[in-house]
Chains A and B, each alone.
Chain A
Amino acid sequence: MTAVVEVEQLRKSYGAVERLHGISFEVHAGEILGFLGVNGAGKTTTIEILEGYRSRDGGRVSVLGTDPAKATREWRNRIGLVLQECELDPVYTVNETVTMFARYFRRPTDIPATIGAVGLTEKADDRVGRLSGGQKRRLDVALGLVGDPEVLFLDEPTTGLDPVARREMWSMIEGLRLAGKTIFLTTHYMDEAQHLADRIIILRAGEIAAQGTAEKLSEALGYHTEVTFETRRGVEVRELHGALGVDVRVDGPLVSFRTQQVQADLKALLDWAQARGVELTNLQAVRPTLDDVFVQLAGDGGVDTSHG
């Protein structure tokens, strides 16, 4: 696989505070890389260095074979940017805005097709000021796509959107994946990364805490299915522990344990309940989302929220 983005030992300080402590990763052609972290982890600092907006203090960075610190016009013709906080003049229509941006690029895409790709065909003649938050954000994506870039940088595309608008954005990004775009996506939602990204990098306080596919991440963390149930009678924890051979947690009427052998342990649980005449209510076996992994990995580490 060809690397579209290569980063080695990237360092960045603001004043005396080092924000990126020498991170290394690659983005391969045609993949969506989810770059995940809480506010202050260094996501925006990293993406802005890749986009050529910020200087770095150390390490090697290459995007499409060019050092973004030495961005040329030709290089800018090959990348697409969707910035985090960006407004557009509300008096222009969607079509006018996209058409104007298309002129900046040497090889622009077909404008109606691009407006269609972000699902704004029906809004093409509406003024930007009349769009909803989600529609505005999709227009931002259209402006990132209109130069037909080889790599698209999407900085927190769904932050601040309602759940419906988020889903619309997701299906739009999935459409881009089908079109074979290489996408560098930052987000602070694990479910978003899990849903969209081929590979995930979790950034914590300027360091890479974990990386890999969603499955690999959960495997590496020894991820277990959680079985929970309630009983009216208090459960003899020690007894259940003996029957199942796993640690059991009791929180009021709620009992839970984690297992990697769901079938065997559920059978053991049911046999035990049958034998003891215990009634299990609300019995559930849930394989949790990676959200817990993320909270566990990204949550600690003394991050503050003063930098994106």
Chain B
Amino acid sequence: MEEWTRVMGDAGLAIAQTRFALRGFLRHSSAFVFTVVFPVILLLLFNAIFKGTTKFNGLNAAEATYYTASIVSYEIMLVSFGSLLVRVTTAREQGLLKRFRGTPMPSWVYLFSEIGRTVVVVCSTVALLVAVGTLFYHVQLSGHLLIGLVVYLVLGVTCFSALALALASFCATADSASAIGPLSATILAFLSGVFIPTSIMPTWLIDLGKVFPLEHMARGLQMAFLVPGSTGLTGVNLGVLVAWGVLGLVVAVPTFRWESRVGL
């Protein structure tokens, strides 16, 4: 009984910590602009620049729908990977993680709150992007699309969060993390046919992009958005995301540091 009370208490604490993190997120205007407003602007911009149709799996596809799918995948990586990496390394550098470690709060509560915050930010922004896509860019909502979207959201957030936590162990400072996080998201976006359709990219660049998880998430989402009756869920896409996620966890779990190396 006491055990049960404690577990329920911890669950409540984890939710309170997540809400606390979200309240902070809404007050950090730069974080809000970067992860919510910026992707919407990107969606509007790409659609303004590339007006017309593109080839997708041999089909003519509306550019507009294509970019809605692409920016959704970009948003998932930007927040789960880029923002999480910056937040964790900053909190570590500020001594906040060390301070948490010195309280009775279980370590998982902190990690839960960070990932919970990521999930809420990603889901709300994705909902916003899909709404904009449906209103202006010919996105057809369907059961297949929603299934694909939810699976890629869950898998994508998990995979990229695990990779962020893994990379956090190798970023000496928050400063280096703030360069590595958004930069790698942007470079991968170009490699993965997120910003520029793969139909106009050289083959070697496409092949290089296929090594990384963003390409597979973007490809799968583009299928779900563009191909009627398709969830976009393919064995290869899911397999690559799971493999990178597992790699992230295998690295993150034994190497995660609660204290900055400086001064040790």
Q: Are A and B associated in one complex?
A: yes
With A91-B24, A100-B20, A103-B16 already in contact, the answer to whether A77 and B104 are too (CB < 8 A) is yes
- B13→A103 contact, CB < 8 A: yes
Query: Could you mark each residue 86-110 of chain A with 1 if its beta carbon is under 8 Å from any beta carbon of chain B, else 0?
Result: 1111011000100011011110000
- A100→B104 contact, CB < 8 A: no
Q: Within A58-107, which residues are at the interface with B (CB < 8 Å)?
A: 73-74, 76-77, 81, 83, 85-89, 91-92, 96, 100-101, 103-106
With A91-B27, A103-B13 already in contact, the answer to whether A147 and B103 are too (CB < 8 A) is yes
Query: Could you mark each residue 45-62 of chain A with 1 if its beta carbon is under 8 Å from any beta carbon of chain B, else 0?
Result: 000000111000000000
- B102→A53 contact, CB < 8 A: yes
- B104→A76 contact, CB < 8 A: yes
Nearest B residue to A129 via CB reads B27
**Is A143 among interface residues, defined by CB-CB distance under 8 A?**
yes
Considering the chains assembled together, what is the distance between the CA atoms of A66 and B24 in angstroms? 36
- A83→B20 contact, CB < 8 A: no
Considering the chains assembled together, what is the distance between the CA atoms of A104 and B109 in angstroms? 10
- A85→B95 contact, CB < 8 A: yes
**Is A308 among interface residues, defined by CB-CB distance under 8 A?**
yes
- B103→A76 contact, CB < 8 A: yes
- A87→B96 contact, CB < 8 A: yes
**Is B237 among interface residues, defined by CB-CB distance under 8 A?**
no
- B13→A86 contact, CB < 8 A: no
Q: Which secondary structure characterizes the binding site on chain A?
A: loop
Considering the chains assembled together, what is the distance between the CA atoms of A237 and B248 in angstroms? 79
Nearest A residue to B263 via CB reads A308
Query: Could you mark each residue 87-109 of chain B with 1 if its beta carbon is under 8 Å from any beta carbon of chain A, else 0?
Result: 00000001110111111111000
Nearest A residue to B94 via CB reads A87
Nearest A residue to B99 via CB reads A86
Q: Which of B100, B103, B259 contacts A105 (CB 8 A)?
A: B103
* Nearest CB of chain B from residue A265's CB, rounded to whole Å: 50
Nearest B residue to A44 via CB reads B263
- B102→A83 contact, CB < 8 A: yes
Considering the chains assembled together, what is the distance between the CA atoms of A74 and B102 in angstroms? 12
Considering the chains assembled together, what is the distance between the CA atoms of A88 and B100 in angstroms? 11
Which chain B residues lie closer than 8 Å to A96 at the CB level?
20, 23
Which chain A residues lie closer than 8 Å to B106 at the CB level?
73
Considering the chains assembled together, what is the distance between the CA atoms of A73 and B264 in angstroms? 25
- B98→A53 contact, CB < 8 A: yes
Which chain A residues lie closer than 8 Å to B263 at the CB level?
85, 307-308
* Nearest CB of chain A from residue B13's CB, rounded to whole Å: 6
- A86→B94 contact, CB < 8 A: yes
Considering the chains assembled together, what is the distance between the CA atoms of A87 and B91 in angstroms? 9
- A104→B16 contact, CB < 8 A: no
Considering the chains assembled together, what is the distance between the CA atoms of A81 and B28 in angstroms? 27
Considering the chains assembled together, what is the distance between the CA atoms of A281 and B101 in angstroms? 60
Among B13, B101, B259, which residue has the most Cβ atoms of chain A within 10 A?
B101
Which chain B residues lie closer than 8 Å to A89 at the CB level?
24, 96
Which chain B residues lie closer than 8 Å to A81 at the CB level?
99, 102-103
Which chain B residues lie closer than 8 Å to A100 at the CB level?
16-17, 20
Considering the chains assembled together, what is the distance between the CA atoms of A52 and B103 in angstroms? 11
Considering the chains assembled together, what is the distance between the CA atoms of A88 and B91 in angstroms? 9
Considering the chains assembled together, what is the distance between the CA atoms of A78 and B140 in angstroms? 58
Nearest A residue to B29 via CB reads A91
* Nearest CB of chain B from residue A146's CB, rounded to whole Å: 9
Query: Could you mark each residue 116-134 of chain B with 1 if its beta carbon is under 8 Å from any beta carbon of chain A, else 0?
Result: 0000000000000000000
Which chain B residues lie closer than 8 Å to A308 at the CB level?
263
Mark A residues whose CB is within 8 Å of B. Answer: 14, 51-53, 73-74, 76-77, 81, 83, 85-89, 91-92, 96, 100-101, 103-106, 143, 147, 307-308
Mark B residues whose CB is within 8 Å of A. Answer: 13, 16-17, 20, 23-24, 27-28, 94-96, 98-106, 259, 263-264
Known: A76-B102, A86-B96, A103-B17. 16 other contacts (CB 8 A): A73-B106, A74-B104, A83-B98, A83-B102, A86-B99, A87-B96, A88-B96, A89-B24, A89-B96, A91-B27, A100-B17, A100-B20, A101-B103, A103-B16, A104-B103, A104-B105
Nearest first, the 5 closest Cβ-Cβ pairs linking A and B are A86-B95, A91-B27, A87-B94, A104-B105, A104-B103
